[in-house]
Amino acid sequence: MAETGIAMRFVVKRLNWTEHYGGQRTRQPGEVAVVSFATFDEAEAERAKRENEFRKKINPFNCGAVAHYWTHLDEPRLRDWLMDHGIDPPAAKKDGTTDWSAWWKAHHKKLSAEKRAVVWEVLDKVRFFAVREEPVRPVGYAVMELNWEYNDENYSASSDGGRLFKVYRTRERAEAECAARNEEAREEWSFVDDMMGDYDELDEDEDDMMAAFDMQDRLRHQRGMTDDQKLKKGEGLFNSSEKVPFFEIIEVELEGLE
C-alpha cells in the first residue's frame, strides 16, 4: 500500500540472470529498472510484452540444472501437469535422468502457442521481468570504476558491479568527473599497450576477435541480451588503453531527498 502523500510509480524491472557457457543461466540477486508507469495496468502490460518476447529466445530448462530451479513442483508432478494439459514430457534415460533442455529444443516449435504458454505457466520460477511499486525518487548519477582482470590472454571487464567512486545530482558533473578519471586511468594503464603488442590491430574477418581489453560480457549483461543476440562487430573490444572505459556512469535512485 502506498503511503498517503507519497507519489508512487510502477517500475518494470529486468531480473538479473547471468549467462554461462553453452547457454546456461543462473538467477542472481538484483534487478535493473527498465521503464516506469503511473499505473499498474500499464506496467503489467509492458512486463508481459517484454516477458513474452524474451521467452521466444530462451530455453527455460537451461535456467537451472534440475526441476526445483524451474518450478514449485517436483519432477513427477511436473510430468503429470504436462500430461494433464495434453503435452507428452520427455522420456527418462536408463540412468533415470531426463534431458529437459534437449526436449524443449527439439519440440517446443511443434507445440501450439497455448501449450507453450502452459509450459511457461508451470515453470513459475523462470521469470525475467517483474513489476515493483516504488516511491518516486530523484535520480543521481554514480561514477563507477570498472573491475578489469587479467585472464592470461587479455584484460576482461567484470560483467557486473564495480567500485563506486562518487554520486552527483547532475549528469553534467558526473560526465566531467568520469572523463577526468578515464583520462588519468588511461595514462596509468598505458603499460598494457606495449605488453599486448600482439593485438595492435583487430582482425575483423575473424569470428572470435581478440583484443587487449574485452568488455563484451559486461555489455551483454548490462543490456540483458539473449543467446541469439549479437553485439556489433568489434563492439566492446579495444586494442589499446586509449579508448577503454575504466569509469562509467550509471543512474541510481536517491533515497531521503526531495
Strands of the sheet with 247-253, listed across from one edge: 163-168, 139-145, 247-253
Is the per-residue pLDDT at 206 higher than 50? no
Q: What does R_g of the chain's alpha carbons equal in angstroms?
A: 22
Model confidence over 85-128: pLDDT tens digits?
999 999 999 898 999 999 999 999 999 999 999 999 999 999 99
Q: What integer is the mean pLDDT of 173-200?
A: 84
Q: What integer is the mean pLDDT of 162-167?
A: 93
Q: Place 22 in a pLDDT band, splitting at 50, 70 and 90.
A: confident
Query: In the prediction, which pLDDT does 71 show?
Result: 97
Q: What integer is the mean pLDDT of 190-204?
A: 62
Model confidence over 64-73: pLDDT tens digits?
999 999 999 9
Q: How far apart are CA 219 and CA 160, in angstroms?
A: 9
Is the per-residue pLDDT at 19 higher than 90? no
Single-letter amino acid, residue 25: R
pTM across the whole model: 0.74
Q: How far apart are CA 142 and CA 164, in angstroms?
A: 7
Q: Place 257 in a pLDDT band, splitting at 50, 70 and 90.
A: low
Is the per-residue pLDDT at 4 higher than 70? no
Maximum CA extent, the chain: 65
Q: What integer is the mean pLDDT of 166-182?
A: 96
Is the per-residue pLDDT at 52 higher than 60? yes
Cβ-contact 119, 87 below 8 angstroms: yes
Q: Place 81 in a pLDDT band, splitting at 50, 70 and 90.
A: very high
Q: What integer is the mean pLDDT of 220-235?
A: 84
- Which cell goes with 84? 494433464
Task: State the SS3 of the chain.
Answer: CCCCCCCEEEEEEEEEEEECHHHCEEEEEEEEEEEEECCHHHHHHHHHHHHHHHHCCCCHHHCCCCHHHCCCCCHHHHHHHHHHCCCCCCCCCCCCCCCHHHHHHHHHHHCCHHHHHHHHHHCCCCCCEEEEEEECCCEEEEEEECCEEECCCCEEECCCCCEEEEEECCHHHHHHHHHHHHHHHHHHCCHHHHHCHHHCCCCCCCCCCCCCEECHHHHHHHHCCCCCCCCCCCCCEECCHHHCCCEEEEEEECCCCC
Which range in 123-132, 158-167, 189-198, 245-254 is most confidently predicted, on average pLDDT?
A: 123-132
Residue 213: name the closest of 184, 193, 187, 183 by CA. Answer: 193
Model confidence over 179-192: pLDDT tens digits?
999 999 999 998 87
Q: How much is the mean pLDDT over the chain?
A: 89
Q: What integer is the mean pLDDT of 143-168?
A: 91
